[in-house]
Chain A
Amino acid sequence: MITINNLKVKYGDEVALNIKEPLTIEKGERIGIIGSNGAGKSTLVKAILGIINYDGVINSDIKPEEMSVHLQENNYVDTMKIKYVIEGILNTKISKNKRLLELINFFDFNDCLNKKYPGLSGGQKQRLTIILVLMQDSPLVFFDEVTSGLDFETRQQLMLKINQWYKNKNTTILIVSHYYEELEQIAKKILILDKGNIVDFGYKEELFKKYCGESVIVVDNTEKNKEITERFNKLIAPKHLIALSCKDSEEQLLITKVLIENNINFKRSNNDIEIMSINAKASFRLRNGEENKDEYKAC
């Protein structure tokens, strides 16, 4: 569906994106794009949409006009009620469009129709764009930080509804998010970016095995836990956690046995995208000869 090759995007002198090896996105794939701030996630989306200048090649089966996108920032005019904004953009009448009515009900958006855009809350603003994007029914959809700035409950609700909507559809979805649980819900493949470079791209399970092993066991980072887990293989983890890598079920059993014997709470996962991406990035930086920080030693 989309092939990217030698893609370079610059903002002034700063290289925001530098994809050297070919990157192919197939029809129907659900891809999660992760990376820290400034990793080039939104820049990649904008380049595919053709709304920024770039060097290199982006070959696509579909035109940018056929793609739909929920940008990080979406604004609408404040000169009319939301219902007229929806009708104008979607070229339809709300009362006569069964599918649109269904979607408005689905997202509990009825009460917002007579308001103007500045009168909507953050979550309502996000839902407006989601309704408009879903109504487009495009073969390729981008969700760029669709839930940023929303509370936990609203985030969960939105993602659940987006998930339900696309459940039996062959739509290609690229979702950029800082919230790993959202990617776990939707994405089958993960694209990890770091400072404009591709760290890795592949199926979630394959990347997890590559960087974390069979499974990961996570405990709180306390002195006692450090001591108890000293002999096990550790992965890089957020400062408040200790992540233990299990290369097979035997090792997993051994670790859990020790933790239970010592009455330590733990979390076991075979799809922890956060731990996986942290370790993938560290490994990538190490391969590229970047400063050998302590955190990289675990790789």
Chain B
Amino acid sequence: MLAEEPEAVPLAGGTDLLVHWPAHHETRESTYLDLGQIEELRSHRWTEDALILGGTTTYWDLIRDPRTTRDLPLLVDAARQVGAVQIQARGTWAGNIANGSPAADGVPVLMAYDAVVVAQSERDSCEIPLSEFYLGYKEMRLADDQLITRIRVPLAPRANQRFDKVGARRAQAIAKIGLATVEAEDGWRVVAASLAPTVRRCPAVEALLDSGEAEYSLDGFETALATDVSPIDDIRSTAEYRRRVAARLLFFGPGSREA
């Protein structure tokens, strides 16, 4: 269908697209492609080396699968901090990716787990590492006729897994800062949300953690962060608050773990 009508907007849980729906007269005129009745997109499954999410797998689907807590705990941590139960029951991981918000909750933990996006169209099927998916603010490697049909999350030995979301409230809050940190076998993954136009890896912070220093300093994290992210003042927070608090989260989190 997307091949015939590339301007059609895919609709899954609707927890972002339908916000203030009655006021959005123009958007109501658009064509939407409802994915809810496509059964094959909903289910997730575990293979020997990965968790495969469907195109419409919800946050609640993973919260209620005990294996996720055991093998990919950050996915559950993040899912439980999305909105509230009513949103978790409808919101989808793929929708969070395709919506492209820099303040996304699902994207940072997926990225910290080296997730791969599978995007399909009539023409072909592509696999794009999530860490390479975003090109700029709301710009992504997804053509108009492509649909995210699966997200592959590799299983691997991981340690020191953390997800921190700083928000105005414990629930129903958009992140002022999001940080997902994981120590993988080949090095650290540090993923930041709400600190730049896109959710992104922080290579300078990762290099700092990979260097294996005996003792880290708050200044060291602030300096590394400054090359990786570019926080701004907006309605939710200030650049200075974001810089300082993100550095503290890194210092007291991965920077303070037992070697």
Q: Do the two shown chains form a genuine complex with each other?
A: no
B residues with CB within 8 A of A: none
